[in-house]
Amino acid sequence: MIRIAIQSKGRLSEESLALLREAGIRIDELKRKFLARAADFPLEVLYLRDDDIPGVVAGGSADLGIVGYNEVAETGAEVRVVRKMGFGTCRLSLAIPKAQEYTGPSFFEGKRIATSYPNVLSGWLRENGVKADICKIMGSVEISPAAGLADAIFDIVSSGGTLVSNGLKEVETVLCSEAVLIARPDLDAEKQQILDKLLFRLDAVMSSVGKKYILMNIPNDKLAEAVKVLPALRSPTVMPLAAEGWCSLHSVVEERELWDKIEKLKALGAEGILVLHLDKVID
Ligand code: ATP
Ligand code: MG
């Protein structure tokens, strides 16, 4: 049995559970309790506030956790980052009122900075030889300059929309973050085995993200050129069609390149192009 801590409510909880579900691990979400057992995998889910996850994993009350890397950095908990999960991407940045001119890190000398991430911030200030006053607040950090509580803020940014609507501008990115799978450093052999099994499944799910399965009919004499457009996991699959002179070509493409490749394949004479959802990729 292995125990994983995930965020009970908030930005990362749905995606964390969805990832487990895609990996064939079903958890009774209707009766979301503090601790829930998976139906068909030796795994328990512990639902926590995100701030508590790194410490609980480092302390051994949970073996694994899914949490924003920003929380791992802030708590300084001794955990192993096992995988980057590719969601919950954001950054920790310094922002100042829009009207002020930014002159580099020394701008912050003697200033008051509001943040929920005092440890990450003090590390950055130290590295840059700046002495500033850190004001720790847990919510509504972005309104603190307008409210006269601080001269600047250090907070999570994703699109930047919240900063703009509060009359602020981002001037330094200190840490890039995304959801990570963390593990306690001292897993025993049995738990490590369960983790390996879980990673095999999670990797298959994560490898399919942003990819599509594509198949089409192509004249035999254009096949070589079409194969060049479509590099596959190893190499595209080619099957003969009953119609003379044609074959069926199957491959996997990155979604962001999809339309570009379809245009090239159409120009080569491809017909009956089908694009399908890809569920898992096992290398
Ligand atoms: P909790 O109640 O569990 O303490 P919280 O309010 O502290 O939750 P959330 O706002 O749910 O935290 O954010 C959880 C994590 O999601 C953050 O630590 C960060 O890694 C990521 N995150 C936060 N804001 C954004 C955003 N705007 N875009 C993308 N990811 C974000
Ligand atoms: Mg929190």
Q: 41-63 pLDDT, tens per residue?
A: 999 999 999 999 999 999 999 99
Over range 129-157, report the average pLDDT: 95
Instruction: Name the amino acid, one letter, at 52.
Output: D
pLDDT bracket for residue 231 (50, 70, 90): confident
Whole-number Å distance between alpha carbons of 141 and 13? 22
Choosing from 6, 8, 9, 11 the residue with most ligand 1 atoms within 8 A of its CB, the one to mutate for a pocket test is 11
Q: Is the CB of 51 under 6 A from ligand 1?
A: yes
Dump pLDDT digits (tens) for 201-215. 999 999 999 999 999
Predicted local distance difference test score (pLDDT) of residue 234: 73
Q: Nearest residue CA, atom 3 of ligand 1?
A: 49
Whole-number Å distance between alpha carbons of 252 and 43? 32
In CATH, which superfamily holds the domain spanning 2-86+178-207?
A: Periplasmic binding protein-like II (3.40.190.10)
Q: Give the distance (Å) from ligand 2 centre to CA of residue 243.
A: 61
Task: Say whether 265 sits in a helix, a strand or coil.
Answer: helix
> How much of the chain exceeds pLDDT 70, in percent?
98
Q: Which fold is adopted by the domain 211-277?
A: Alpha-Beta Plaits (3.30.70)
Predicted local distance difference test score (pLDDT) of residue 30: 62
Rounded alpha-carbon distances, angstroms, from residue 214 to 217, 222, 225, 276, 282: 11, 17, 16, 6, 17
Of ligand 1's atoms, which has the minimum distance to the CA of residue 13? 11
In CATH, which superfamily holds the domain spanning 90-177?
A: Periplasmic binding protein-like II (3.40.190.10)
Residues 6+ apart with CB under 8 A from 253: 211, 212, 214, 230, 261
Return the CA Rg of the chain.
25
Intrachain domains 2-86+178-207 and 211-277 with the same fold: no
The mean pLDDT value of the chain amounts to: 94
Q: Is the CB of 192 under 6 A from ligand 1?
A: no
Rounded alpha-carbon distances, angstroms, from residue 45 to 95, 116, 128, 139: 37, 27, 41, 27
Q: Is the pLDDT of residue 31 over 80?
A: no
Torsion of CA 180, 49, 149, 171, to 10 degrees: 10
Q: Is the pLDDT of residue 79 over 90?
A: yes
Q: Could you tell me the residue ranges of all domains in the chain?
A: 2-86+178-207, 90-177, 211-277
